[in-house]
Structure 1
Amino acid sequence: MTISQDFYMFERLFRAIYMPQNVYCIHVDKAATSEFKRAVQELLSCFTNTFISSQSKHIILGSISRLQADLACMRDLIALDVPWRYVINMGGHDFPLKTNREIVQYLKMLGGKNITPHLEFVLKSTERIKYTYREYRNRTHAFVLQKRRKKSPPPNQLKIHFGSKYVALTRKFVYFALFNEVAIELLQWSQDTYSPDEHFWITLNNIPAAPGSMDKEISTISLRAVKWIYQEDIHKGCHGHYWQDVCVYGPGDLKWLYASSSLFANKLELKTYPLTVECLELWIRERSLNQSEIPVESDWYLLPK
C-alpha cells in the first residue's frame, strides 16, 4: 500500500483488508508529515505481519516515484521468509468490494496468470513515451513537465502497452520484474517517461517469457471500480465529486459499488463522505462474517454510529 495522508481513511481501509494470514507492506510518502508517519508506525506496531517499506520515495504525480514505491515494497516482500503467492498494490483511498475469501478464490481461478488491466483512454497516451519528462520541486509543489527532447526507442525492441497502475502479480512475475535483465532495462528507460507505472507492468506482462504472462480474457478484468469522467454514458454520473477526472464516491454511488464485479473501489474520502465509507465497511464486514467457517461472536460485527 502506498499512502501519504489521511490517517483515519488508512485506518478504515487497513481494518477492512486485514487478515492474519496475509502480509502487508506499507510505503509512506517521504513528504508525509511527521505526525502521519508516527501514527502509521504506532498502528502497524500492533501487528506482526505488517511493516513499513525499507525505502521511502517522495511521490510525485506522473513521475517514476509511484512505480519505485511499489518496487521497494516488492523487494521487501520477496526477501521475507513467507510463501505468499500474489501481490496486490493499493492506494490509501481504495476500499475492498470483495471479502478476503472472495479475493483468494478469484486469484485461484486465474491459474497463475497476472492481472494487468487495459485502460482504453490510456491506450491513446503515446505522448507519455514520445518525449522526455522531468521532475520539478519548489517549496510548496512537486510536479512533472514534458521536455522537448524526444525519447529513444524502447530497449530490446519492446512494444509499449498502456494500462492500469493497479495490478495483481504472481510471486514468480514479481521476481522477474525485479531481477530479469529485460525488466531492469525497461525500468531504466522509463525513468523520464510520464506515469511509467501505467506501462511498466502491462508491457512486461505482454512478454511471452514472463511468468504468468498476458491472457486476453484476463486483460479485460478490472481490479478497481472507478467512475471516470470520460465514461459518464456508462456509469450514469458521479454522486460525489470529481477529482482529477475520478469520482470521489458519495452515498448515492453505493448501489453502483455494491453491484460492481471489481475487487476494490477507488476513490473514497472519509472526511468528505463519511457515510459512503461507513456503509461499505459495514457491508463488507457482514459479508466476511457470513462466510466464516467458525462460530461468529456478536462483538465481531461493526455497530453503526
Structure 2
Amino acid sequence: MYDLHTHRNITFLDNLYIPCEALIRGDQTAIDLYGQQVYDNGFKERMLLEEKDLCAAFKNRFHFQASPLSEEEAEFPLAYGFVVYKNVVQVLHMLAAFYQPQNLYCINIDSKSPDGLKKLLRGVESCFPNVHVVIGPSIEWGSYEIVTAVWNCLSYAEKSAHAWKYYQYLTGTDAPLKTNLEMVRIFKALNGTMNMSYDIFNKTWLQGKQEDGSPFLPIYKSFIPALIPRPAATAIVGSSQVADYLKWLKGCWIPEELIWATIAGRPDLLPWPGAVPNSLMYQLKGTTEQMLAQLIKGRNKTQRITITEDFYGPATFDTPNQNWIARYQGWNSDDLLKCNKFTHTSCVFRVAELAALRNRPELTAHKINFEDQPVAFFCLLKEHLRRSLNPEPFDARNYTRLPEVELLRGVPLDELSMPKASVNRLRRETRG
C-alpha cells in the first residue's frame, strides 16, 4: 500500500534539469547562471486551458500523489486553506507539492482573479474529491475581506467530516520546506498546541475604534499563518464571541493580524485542550527582548548581529530557535537576513537564498514569485519531492521544546528551553 514509486507518472519536475544541489550548496557560478532563467507561465496556462481532459493533464504534468506515502501519514491527515488570486501555474505546482490524498484542501479564490485561474482550479476540484474551491470576496491589501477569505476555508474544514488533525494557511507565493511526513512528526510534537506569532499591535490599526469595545481584550498582533489543531478550530469556529469579535474588526486596518493571538490565547473566554494563555507568551517575549537589548546595548551593528545570532542560537533543519514555525518570512528590519530583494518590506526569496532556506526549521517559505528567478521555486519543489519519495531520518523532538508545548506540560516560565539557553548565554556574557 505504501510503495513510494508504484505507478508514478514522470512529470514536469522530473524532466526539468537544474543543478539544484549546487545551488543549494551556494555555488556562485550556478547562482549567477540560473538566476537569469525565466519561465513562461502564460504559455503553460494556455496549454492547460486547451486540454480536453484536465484530470489527465493535472496528473501527467504535476505530481499529485495518488496514495499515502506511509502508514504514519495516512493515520495523521492534515488540512490546508489557500488564499490565491494570480499565477495559476505556480499555484498548481504548489498545490501538487502539498497534496496528499488523505489530506483536506480548501482554496479561496479572489473574485477578481482571471477566468483562467478560476477554470483550472475548479478543474482541480472536479478531479480530486478532497479539494474544495470557493470564490471569495475581492481582496485589497489591509482590508477586511482577507478575514472573510481565511474564515471561508477554516469554517469549511472544521465543519467537514474529514478527520484532519492540524490545519494551516497558505498563499499563492508559499513553498514547502518540510515534506508531509516531516510535518506530521512536527505536528505530533506540538501535542495539540496552536503555533502562532505574538506581538504588540499598532493602535492606529483600529482606525479610531475604542479598544475597550472589543469582545476580546487585550488585543494582540499575530501573523495570519498559524498551525491550528482540530479542537482549537472547533472552539474558534463555534464561538459566538469570536463571531462578534470578527464583526468588531470590520473597519480596522490589517484586521487578519489581530485574530489568533487575541482569541486563541484566552482559555478563560475560549477554552479548548492545548490552549496556552497569551499573557504568558507575551511575558516570555518581553523578557527575551529585554535580555537581548541588554546584551547589544552600545554595540555597533556588526557586534549586534553576532550577539543576536549567539543569543538565539542556530536555527537548523530540525531545530527551531524561536517559537513561530508555521512560516519563514524575512523582513528588511532583520539584521540577520541576507536578502537581495524586498516587496512590501518582505524578502522575495531567490536563487541566492536557497542554501539558507534548505536549512530552515519552519514548515513553509514566503515569498517566492514565478516572475522573479523561478528556479528558486522549482529547486525547492524538486528537493521536497526527492525527500518525499526517499525519506531521510527526521526527528522532531526539538519541536517539543517550543514554549507553548513546554508550558502545556507544566514547565515554569523561567525554565523554558527558549529562552533558557539564551539566559545561560547572557550569564556567561555578563560574567565575562
Q: TM-score, normalised by structure 2?
A: 0.59
Which is further off, 151-160 or 79-88? Answer: 151-160
- Give the CA deviation at 1:175: 2.1
Of 190, 197, 206 in structure 2, the residue corresponding to residue 117 of structure 1 is 197
Q: CA deviation at 1:49?
A: 0.8
Aligned equivalent of 1:279:
379
Which structure carries more strand by proportion? 1
Cα pair distance change 1:157/1:279, threshold 3 Å: closer
Q: Is the alpha carbon distance of 1:106 and 1:7 closer, same or farther for their aligned partners in structure 2, counting shifts above 3 Å?
A: same
The 1-side partners of 2:202 and 2:214 are apart by: 19
Q: Give the one of 221, 230, 238 matched to 2:339.
A: 238
How much has 1:106 moved relative to structure 2? 0.6
Query: How far apart are the structure 1 equivalents of 2:125 and 2:376?
Result: 25
Matched, 1:127 2:241: no
**Does residue 5 in structure 1 map to residue 86 in structure 2?**
yes
Counterparts in 2 of 1:29-48, with a 5 A limit? Answer: 29-48=110-129
Q: How does 1:238-257 map to 2 (within 5 A)?
A: 238-239=339-340, 241-257=341-357
Task: Name the SS for the 1:2 alignment partner.
Answer: strand
Aligned 8 A contact 2:201 2:219 in 1: no
Deviation at 1:221, TM superposition (A): 2.0
Map of 1:55-134 to 2, 5 A cutoff?
Answer: 56-119=136-199, 123-129=200-206, 131=207
Query: Paired residue for 1:174?
Result: 233
1:190 has 2:249 as partner? yes
Q: Distance between the aligned counterparts of 1:43 and 1:98, measured in 2?
A: 23
- Tell me which of 106, 123, 127 is aligned to 1:25: 106
- Given residue 192 of structure 2, which amino acid in structure 1 is its aligned partner? G
User: Which residue identity is paired with 1:50?
Assistant: V
Aligned to 2:408: none
Q: Distance in 2 between matches of 1:290 and 1:277?
A: 20
Larger deviation, residues 18-27 vs 58-67: 58-67
User: Unaligned regions of 5+ residues in structure 1, if any?
Assistant: 132-148, 293-305
Task: Assess if the C-alpha contact under 8 Å between 1:154 and 1:160 holds in 2.
Answer: no
Superposed displacement of residue 201, structure 1: 1.2
Higher alpha-carbon deviation: 206-215 or 80-89: 206-215
Deviation at 1:102?
0.7
Partner residue in 2 for 1:16? 97
Rounded Cα–Cα distance in structure 2 between residues aligned with 1:116 and 1:152? 22
Q: Aligned-pair RMSD on alpha carbons?
A: 2.0
* Residues matched between the structures, number: 268
How many angstroms apart in 1 are the aligned matches of 2:193 and 2:104?
A: 20
Equivalent residue of 2:342, what SS?
A: strand
Are the equivalent residues in 2 in contact too, given 1:118–1:220 (CA < 8 A)?
A: no
- In 1, Cα distance between equivalents of 2:216 and 2:195: 23
Rounded to whole Å, the distance in 1 between the matches of 2:112 and 2:216 is 37
The offset of 1:190, in angstroms, is 0.7
The structure-2 alpha-carbon separation of the partners of 1:157 and 1:280, relative to structure 1 and needing over 3 Å to count, comes to closer
Rounded Cα–Cα distance in structure 1 between residues aligned with 2:115 and 2:216: 44
- Secondary structure in structure 1 of the residue aligned to 2:106: strand
Give the Å deviation of 1:222.
2.8
**Structure 1 or 2: more helix by fraction:** 2
Instruction: State the 1:157 CA deviation.
Output: 5.7
Task: Provide, for residues 132-186 of structure 1, a one-character-per-residue CA deviation record: whole Å limited to 9, x for no partner.
Answer: xxxxxxxxxxxxxxxxx44352434610011111111122222222221221221
Q: Please give the residue correspondences for 1:197-276 in structure 2 after superposition, counting only pairs within 5 Å.
A: 197-209=256-268, 210-211=271-272, 212-214=274-276, 216=281, 220-231=323-334, 233-235=335-337, 237-239=338-340, 241-276=341-376
For structure 2, list consecutive stretches of 5 or more residues without a partner in the other structure. 1-81, 285-319, 393-432
Worse overlay, 165-174 or 208-217: 208-217
CA distance in 1, matches of 2:84, 2:155: 18
Q: What SS class does the counterpart of residue 132 from structure 2 fall into?
A: strand
Identity value in percent? 24
Name which of structure 1's ranges 247-256 and 167-176 shifts more when overlaid on structure 2: 167-176
Larger Rg: 2
